[in-house]
Amino acid sequence: MSGEIREAAAVRDGEPSLALDVKKVREDFPILKMRIHGKPLVYLDNAASTQKPYAVIDAYNVFYSGCYSNIHRGVYHLSETATKAYEDAREKARAFIGARGIEETIFVSGTTEGINLVAQTYGREKIGKGDEVLVTWMEHHSNIVPWQMICEEKGAVLRAVPIDDRGDLVMDELEKMLGPRTRIVAVTHVSNALGTVNPVKEIVRLAHRRGIPVLIDGAQAVAHMRVDVRDLDCDFYVFSGHKLFGPTGIGILYGKKELLESMPPYQGGGDMIRSVTFEKTTYNAPPYRFEAGTPNIAGAISLGAAIDYVAALGFDAIAEHESAIQAHAAEVLSSIPGLRLVGDARTRIGVFSFVMEGIHPHDIGTILDREGIAVRTGHHCAQPAVDRFGVPATARASFAVYNTREEVDALASGLLKVREVLL
């Protein structure tokens, strides 16, 4: 697979860009050949989850059929192979986000678990009565509720940075809201409802000036842009494998070593201990301290394969292709009569939320589905963000590296069809 992609790039040698051959990329994803209601599948729900390339599907298959066993346990050959594959995947994830060491790279089940882990360990120790946690109006529920829970328990206050009419964070307000009682800032890198790319590096700088740590929810970022946690200087960074062409049930929590070392465990069990007696248990060092029990071994290994896949495509090529698709989508959507984009941030990615005059998003979703087009409708688990724009729900088309111009055009004809059926 990766050989083919390099070849595709090589063929274009001499051209100014290393343009991505989207046809070739699509061949890597078996599901994209599917037909829905007799029409070719146009999958535009990539913000919810991405499809899987053969590389990932095969990694799963190979692991379960050829080298499966539990890890960190046996002295026998199979267990050694499985352990090595699992730890190799950790190393790939480390390199992918630029963490200093594997002790900073924890396998979790996904973004949601990663944020809960930080809230329940770091948060539980550091947040007290009258303290504040700062989130934003555009967070996914998974970066709101875990903080709400710990705030409620501790008598702390959850505060939210407002967003403006375009869907950008109001940075002046953010700066003002960073106070002496702020214990942590938890902010999304990219909004799943609005497509906004937040200035996270600047947010980290502002927070650190006041000694406040920052957690970044990278769920929507990692498939679209190179992330370097050292450059961002964030304290925690979390993402899910399934939004990065990997399997469900696996994700990464990055944390700075000094912080992780000072944090209590999340769950108790096997693998996270050094020694256990009934009187006292001593805990293992990070990352293992935070990985109690048998982990999602196959998921981790296949996430490694997904990371290899994305690395072979290269973020320069991905970004170039996606920004062309995004520009085309912005143009085409604004040409649909009665359509209003919800969120028009100055820096954004190809996640477009919209409403149509006189038409409920649910009805848009049903009619597009009959055209083979998969979009999400609803509040996208970011109810405050959608509420902010005075609508109960939106329809959302979100793009990934395998989407084409033709699919954008199919969306446009689908939306005209929606008007034809309903108006």
Partner 1 sequence: MSDLRDLYQEVILDHGRNPRNFGKLESANRRAEGYNPLCGDRFTIYLFVDEGIVRDIRFEGSGCAIALASASMMSEDLKGRSEKDAEKRFGQFHALLTGDPSDREGAADPALGKLAVFSGVREFPVRVKCATLPWHAFEAALKEERETATTE
Ligand X SMILES: Cc1ncc(COP(=O)(O)O)c(C=O)c1O
If one asks whether residue 140 binds partner 1 (CB under 8 A), the answer comes out as no
**Contact pick of 366, 406, 413, 416 for partner 1 (by CB under 8 A):** 366
- Quick check: 361 binds partner 1 (CB under 8 A)? yes
Considering only residues 339-358, where is the footprint of partner 1 by CB under 8 A? 358
CB 200, CB 187: distance < 8 Å: yes
Choices 69-77, 87-95, 136-144, 340-348; region in contact with ligand X by CB under 6 A? 136-144
Nearer CB in complex with partner 1: 22/418: 418
The packing angle between helices 315-334 and 405-422, to 10°, is: 30
Binding track, positions 345-384, relative to ligand X; x by CB under 6 A: ------------------------------------x---
- Whether 198 and 189 have beta carbons less than 8 Å apart is answered as yes
Q: Which of 205, 196, 197, 150 is nearest to 174 (CA)?
A: 205
Written as six digits, the tokens of 222 are: 């990692």
> Can residue 98 be called a binding residue for partner 1 (CB under 8 A)?
no
Give counts: helices (H), strands (E), the chain. Answer: 16, 17
Task: State phi, psi for 95 to the nearest 5 degrees.
Answer: -65, -35
Which one of ligand X, partner 1, none interacts with residue 140, CB within 5 to 8 A by kind?
ligand X
What percent of the residues of the chain are helix, what percent strand, and what percent coil, each to the nearest 5? 45, 20, 35
335 counts as binding partner 1 under rule CB under 8 A:
no
Terminal Cα distance for the chain, rounded: 46
Which of ligand X, partner 1, none interacts with 390 (beta carbon under 5 to 8 A by kind)? none
Q: Which two tokens stand for residue 145?
A: 């509720």
Which positions ≥6 away from 179 have C-beta within 8 Å? 132, 210
Residues 390-419 that bind partner 1 (CB under 8 A): 392-393
Binding-site member from 166, 210, 362, 405 for partner 1 (CB under 8 A): 362
Strands 236-240, 251-255: pairing kind: antiparallel
Please report, as residue ranges, which positions from 235 to 264 form the binding site for ligand X (by CB under 6 A).
240
Among this protein's residues, is 381 annotated catalytic? yes
In the complex with ligand X, the residue whose CB is nearer, 50 or 142, is 142
Q: Which stretch binds ligand X (CB under 6 A): 14-22, 137-145, 388-396, 410-418?
A: 137-145
Beta strands in 256-409 (DSSP E): 273-276, 281-283, 339-342, 351-356, 373-374, 376-378, 394-398
Residue 315 CA, distance from chain mean position: 15
The structure tokens listed for 382 are: 């970011």
Of 27, 202, 363, 409, which one interacts with partner 1 (CB under 8 A)? 363
392 binds, among ligand X, partner 1, none (CB under 5 to 8 A by kind): partner 1
Alpha-carbon span 79 to 294, nearest angstrom: 13
Of the candidate spans 179-187, 212-220, 341-349, 357-365, the one that interacts with ligand X by CB under 6 A turns out to be 212-220
Count of residues in contact with ligand X, rule CB under 6 A? 13
Contact pattern from residue 375 through residue 394 relative to partner 1, giving x for each residue in contact according to CB under 8 A and a dash for the rest? --xxx---x--x-----xx-
Q: Choosing among partner 1, ligand X, none, which partner's interface includes residue 188 (Cβ < 5 to 8 Å by kind)? A: ligand X
> Residue 268's binding partner, choosing from ligand X, partner 1, none, with beta-carbon cut-off 5 to 8 A by kind?
none
**Restricting to residues 323-342, which ones interact with ligand X according to CB under 6 A?**
none
- Of residues 148-187, those binding partner 1 (CB under 8 A): none
CB of 25 to partner 1, least distance (A): 30
Half-sphere exposure of 122 (CA within 13 A, CB side): 28
Interface with partner 1: number of residues (CB under 8 A): 18
C-alpha separations of 193 from 48, 64, 167, 387, 410 in Å: 10, 36, 10, 11, 22
Helix ranges (DSSP H) in 67-199 = 77-97, 111-118, 124-126, 145-154, 171-177
Give the residue with the Cβ less far from partner 1, 226 or 360.
Answer: 360
Catalytic center residues: 381
Per CB under 6 A, residues contacting ligand X are 110-112, 140, 142-143, 188, 192, 217, 219-220, 240, 381
Per CB under 8 A, residues contacting partner 1 are 358-363, 366-367, 370, 377-379, 383, 386, 392-393, 421-422
